[in-house]
A and B are shown apart, each in its own frame.
Chain A
Amino acid sequence: AQSVTQLGSHVSVSEGALVLLRCNYSSSVPPYLFWYVQYPNQGLQLLLKYTSAATLVKGINGFEAEFKKSETSFHLTKPSAHMSDAAEYFCAVSEANDYKLSFGAGTTVTVRA
């Protein structure tokens, strides 16, 4: 069975600062990895996904994530935070071609002006 652990339930950054959200996964088979964002009172939106191609994945809204097999990590970054990035972010894992995603507990991002 696969699972993810998101380190830090809450992250606060200044506008313009680096956003770094940590995700470590556990999987007995090659994983597919995903980051989703949830804005208040809305459903989730896919930011990016890793499906065994390039290890550095670029997503929407300036986010990117790097798959590091040796560290079993898939951390999400954005070089410069914007106020509109305030939301909850979820890391998820599935087995390749089996889209029964297991989600992490989520990390809430607040952006300070």
Chain B
Amino acid sequence: DSGVTQTPKHLITATGQRVTLRCSPRSGDLSVYWYQQSLDQGLQFLIQYYNGEERAKGNILERFSAQQFPDLHSELNLSSLELGDSALYFCASSLGGEPLHFGNGTRLTVT
């Protein structure tokens, strides 16, 4: 058990909709990372937060946004969903270096 909790495990929604994915980092970790894993694009880094502040941005679309709250949990918001957004979204956490502890992911299916 990595100690990282992601909810929900599965999400099925329609094109054009908006969803929120939630991540609770491992206890004591200050950094949260979001990744997208899909068959065609592989693992893509989306964004990193450290202690509530955005630290690094990767290949995150403008339709996507994230935040980290004072209790250190994080949410990834995906809006105006397209079929191509169907993927596994991982959250990872660490004290501050490389992502160490990964959750089991949220599988998003856009129909």
Check A99/B56 contact, CB under 8 A, given A41-B104, A43-B102.
Answer: yes
Whether A102 and B98, one on each chain, are in contact in the complex, defined by CB atoms closer than 8 angstroms, is no
The bracket for how many chain A residues form the interface is 20 to 34
Q: Is A73 interfacial (CB-CB < 8 Å)? A: no
A90 to chain B, nearest CB (A): 7
Whether A7 sits at the interface, judged by CB under 8 Å, is no
Taking a contact as CB atoms under 8 Å apart, the answer to whether B56 and A98 are in contact is yes
Closest chain B residue to A103 by CB distance? B43
In the A-B complex, the 9 residue pairs with the smallest Cβ-Cβ separation, listed nearest first, are A43-B102, A103-B43, A44-B102, A99-B98, A100-B56, A105-B42, A43-B103, A43-B104, A100-B45
Asked if A90 meets B2 with Cβ closer than 8 Å, knowing A34-B98, A99-B48, A99-B98, the reply is no
Q: Tell yes or no: B97 within 8 A of A by CB.
A: yes
